[in-house]
């Protein structure tokens, strides 16, 4: 039965209930972000168990999120389909091997979603996220502004946290971005990093306790954080899940928030036909606008290198699938 506009509620469909997906579901419910949450997974029993477990905590959540195990037919009325499904890299596999494997998985998933007339926004979390976000747009045919990847939102959050810890100020008062590939070629935009509105470069000049060389090591810790966490606990999932919830809130709340999501560039920053993490205004339409910061020469070169690396990995995989 069709609902009246006044009865319309937000629906998020999660595809892939592994560590990242289940953490995303848990955070969505605890932050009361959506009225409906549908969980889809190849492991039906696990997904049903997740839905049961989450529903049992409704008495303690901020609002009652209607949660159930579903199927692709539930995507037709969804506002957001968040894909966390995919294969993990195995020993001996190259990054390109992982790309090709996950592209095939995504072609099937996205095809199933679109077969049910999905007309919302795709939110992609699976790695390599920039490449799989691009592939999702190609597979779905949806407007580019309605296909978004988690991009460098988590990297940026890590960056802000580590800067706040180093300078001993609240994270909310640190404004700084990581842009580029969500991976080894990402880069910090030091030229626009501020502490309470004061440029980091100026902050260093007026505080002898802080050293410029420390910042290089700080960025390396940001870039390599996932490797460190995986070594210690086997996987990263809480941070990325919270990043996905933040993006979901920005979309459903029509916030016009600025987040470093993976978005399609068509000339911005000198890049063409590539999805990559840059500061972006996000609202109910998906991507409203890409914010084009003025980068330093070094930052621009690093960004171009990051884009080049993405394309060199992505294009052969796309060609192999005859797209």
Residues 63 and 39 sit within 8 Å (Cβ to Cβ): no
**Residue 2 — φ and ψ, nearest 5°?**
-70, 140
Q: d(Cα 235, Cα 186) in Å, to the nearest integer?
A: 20
Report, in angstroms and rounded to the nearest whole number, the Rg of the chain calculated over CA atoms: 20
Q: d(Cα 314, Cα 104) in Å, to the nearest integer?
A: 13
Residues in Cβ contact with 16 at an 8 Å cutoff, skipping those fewer than 6 apart: 40, 41, 83, 84, 85, 86, 126
Whether cis (ω within 30° of 0) applies to the bond prior to 128 is yes
Comparing CA positions, the residue from 81, 87, 122 lying closest to residue 103 is 87
Asked if 237 is an active-site residue, the reply is no
Structure tokens at 151: 């991009």
Q: Which of 116, 134, 182, 304 is catalytic?
A: 182
Structure tokens at 114: 């679109």
Query: Could you list the active site residues?
Result: 182
């Amino acid at each position: 039965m069709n609902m009246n506009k006044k009865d319309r509620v937000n629906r998020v469909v999660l595809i892939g209930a592994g560590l990242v997906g289940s953490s995303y579901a848990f955070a969505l419910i605890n932050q009361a972000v959506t009225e409906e949450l549908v969980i889809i997974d190849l492991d039906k029993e696990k997904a049903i168990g997740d839905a049961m477990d989450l529903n049992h905590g409704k008495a303690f959540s901020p609002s009652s999120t209607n949660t159930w195990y579903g199927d692709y037919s539930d995507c037709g009325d969804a506002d957001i389909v968040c894909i966390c499904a995919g294969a993990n890299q195995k020993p001996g596999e190259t990054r390109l091997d992982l790309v090709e494997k996950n592209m095939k998985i995504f072609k099937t998933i996205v095809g199933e979603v679109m077969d049910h007339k999905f007309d919302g926004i795709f939110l992609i979390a699976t790695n390599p996220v920039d490449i799989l976000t691009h592939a999702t747009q190609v597979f779905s045919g949806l407007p580019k502004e309605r296909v978004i990847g988690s991009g460098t939102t988590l990297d940026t959050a890590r960056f802000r946290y580590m800067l706040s810890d180093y300078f001993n100020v609240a994270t909310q008062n640190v404004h700084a971005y990581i842009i580029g590939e969500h991976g080894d070629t990402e880069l910090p935009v030091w030229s626009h990093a501020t502490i309470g509105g004061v440029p980091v470069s100026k902050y260093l000049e007026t505080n002898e306790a802080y050293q410029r060389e420390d910042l290089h090591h700080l960025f390396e810790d940001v870039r390599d954080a996932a490797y460190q966490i995986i070594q210690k606990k086997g996987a990263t999932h809480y941070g990325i899940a919270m990043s996905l919830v933040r993006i979901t809130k920005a979309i459903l709340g029509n916030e016009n928030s600025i987040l470093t999501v993976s978005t399609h560039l068509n000339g911005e920053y000198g890049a063409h036909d590539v999805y990559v993490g840059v500061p972006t205004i996000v609202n109910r339409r998906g991507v409203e606008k890409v914010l084009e910061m003025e980068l330093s020469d070094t930052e621009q070169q690093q960004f171009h290198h990051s884009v080049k690396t993405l394309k060199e990995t992505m294009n052969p995989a796309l060609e192999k699938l005859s797209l």
